[in-house]
A and B are shown apart, each in its own frame.
Chain A
Amino acid sequence: MLDGILLGLSTALQWQNLLYVIAGCFVGTFIGMLPGLGPITAIALMIPITYSIDPSSGMILMAGVYYGAIFGGSTSSILINAPGVAGTVASSFDGYPLAKQGMAGKALAIAAWASFTGGTIGALLLMLAAPTLAKVSLSFQSADYVALMCLGLTAIAAFSNKGTFLKAMMMTVFGLTLSTVGIDPSSGTERFTFGNTDLLDGISFLLIAMSTFALAEALSNVLKPEVKQGNSEQPMQIGSIRLSKAEVKEISPTIGRSSLLGFIIGVLPGAGATIASFMAYAAERNLAPKAVQEKFGKGALRGLAAPESANNAACTGSFVPLLTLGIPGSGTTAIMLGALIAYGIQPGPMLMQDNPDVFWAVIISMYLGNIVLLILNLPLIPYLARVLIMPKAILTMMILFFSLIGVYLVSFNTFDLFMMIGFALIALVLRLLAFPMAPLLLGFILGDMIESNVRRAMMTSDGSLSIFWDKPLTLGIMLLAIIVLAMPLLSFLRLRKAAV
Chain B
Amino acid sequence: MLNRDTLGALIFLAFFTAYAVFAWQIPLLPFEEMDAVNSASIPKVYAVLGLMFSLLALLAQAIKRQHSSGEGWPQINLRSIGQTAVLLLLMWVYTALLEPIGFLLATSVFLSAGFFIMGERRWRVLLLASVPVAVVFWLIMTKLLGIYLVPGELWS
Contact of B50 among A173, A397, A400, A417 (CB under 8 A): A173
A421 close to chain B: CB less than 8 A: yes
Which A residues are CB-close (under 8 A) to B47?
177
Query: Which secondary structure characterizes the binding site on chain A?
Result: helix
Bound-state Cα–Cα, A450 to B49, Å: 15
Contact (Cβ within 8 A) B110 A177 = no
Bound-state Cα–Cα, A481 to B110, Å: 47
B63 close to chain A: CB less than 8 A: yes
Within A373-422, the residues touching B (CB, 8 Å) are 391-394, 396-398, 400-401, 404-405, 408-409, 414, 417-418, 421
Contact (Cβ within 8 A) B57 A170 = yes
Instruction: Give how many B residues have a beta carbon under 8 Å from the other chain's beta carbons.
Output: 68
A424 close to chain B: CB less than 8 A: yes
Bound-state Cα–Cα, A191 to B29, Å: 12
Which B residues are CB-close (under 8 A) to A430?
8
Bound-state Cα–Cα, A150 to B7, Å: 27
Bound-state Cα–Cα, A393 to B47, Å: 41
User: How far, in Å, is A385 (CB) from chain B's closest CB?
Assistant: 21
User: How far, in Å, is A181 (CB) from chain B's closest CB?
Assistant: 10
Contact (Cβ within 8 A) A180 B43 = yes
Asked, given contacts A223-B84, A396-B114, A451-B42, whether A189 binds B95 with beta carbons under 8 Å apart, the answer is no
Contact (Cβ within 8 A) B29 A188 = yes
The proximity string for B residues 74-91 relative to A, scoring 1 for CB distances below 8 Å and 0 otherwise, is 111000110110011001
Contact (Cβ within 8 A) B43 A177 = yes
Which A residues are CB-close (under 8 A) to B7?
433
Contact (Cβ within 8 A) B15 A174 = yes
Contact (Cβ within 8 A) A184 B88 = no
User: How far, in Å, is B125 (CB) from chain A's closest CB?
Assistant: 9
B136 close to chain A: CB less than 8 A: no
Contact (Cβ within 8 A) A170 B39 = no
Contact (Cβ within 8 A) A414 B141 = no
Bound-state Cα–Cα, A419 to B30, Å: 33
B139 close to chain A: CB less than 8 A: no
A139 close to chain B: CB less than 8 A: no
User: How far, in Å, is B46 (CB) from chain A's closest CB?
Assistant: 5
Contact of B27 among A189, A398, A409, A425 (CB under 8 A): A189
B111 close to chain A: CB less than 8 A: yes
Contact (Cβ within 8 A) A177 B19 = yes
Contact of A173 among B16, B81, B99 (CB under 8 A): B16
The proximity string for B residues 18-44 relative to A, scoring 1 for CB distances below 8 Å and 0 otherwise, is 010010001111011001111110110
Which B residues are CB-close (under 8 A) to A428?
84
A219 close to chain B: CB less than 8 A: yes
Contact (Cβ within 8 A) B8 A397 = no
Contact (Cβ within 8 A) B74 A432 = yes
Contact (Cβ within 8 A) A166 B43 = no
Contact (Cβ within 8 A) B99 A450 = no
A454 close to chain B: CB less than 8 A: yes
The proximity string for B residues 32-76 relative to A, scoring 1 for CB distances below 8 Å and 0 otherwise, is 100111111011001101100110110010011001000100111
A169 close to chain B: CB less than 8 A: yes
The proximity string for A residues 164-194 relative to B, scoring 1 for CB distances below 8 Å and 0 otherwise, is 0011011001101100100010111101100
A52 close to chain B: CB less than 8 A: yes
A463 close to chain B: CB less than 8 A: yes
A458 close to chain B: CB less than 8 A: yes
A492 close to chain B: CB less than 8 A: yes
Contact (Cβ within 8 A) A173 B115 = no
Contact (Cβ within 8 A) B145 A52 = yes
Contact of B75 among A191, A222, A226 (CB under 8 A): A226
Contact (Cβ within 8 A) B145 A166 = no
Contact (Cβ within 8 A) B71 A434 = yes
User: How far, in Å, is B11 (CB) from chain A's closest CB?
Assistant: 8
Asked, given contacts A173-B16, A394-B129, A432-B4, whether A219 binds B42 with beta carbons under 8 Å apart, the answer is no
Bound-state Cα–Cα, A169 to B75, Å: 26
Contact (Cβ within 8 A) A421 B88 = yes
A225 close to chain B: CB less than 8 A: yes
Which B residues are CB-close (under 8 A) to A180?
42-43, 46
Which B residues are CB-close (under 8 A) to A489?
56
Q: List 19 A-B contacts (CB under 8 A).
A: A174-B50, A176-B46, A177-B43, A177-B50, A180-B42, A188-B29, A191-B39, A192-B19, A223-B83, A392-B118, A393-B114, A396-B114, A397-B118, A401-B114, A401-B133, A405-B107, A433-B11, A434-B4, A496-B64
The 4 A-B pairs of least Cβ separation, nearest first, read A463-B36, A393-B118, A189-B39, A397-B114
> Besides A180-B42, A397-B118, 19 other CB < 8 A contacts?
A52-B145, A166-B60, A170-B57, A173-B16, A176-B46, A177-B50, A184-B39, A188-B29, A189-B26, A189-B29, A191-B43, A192-B19, A222-B118, A394-B129, A404-B94, A404-B95, A408-B98, A463-B36, A489-B56
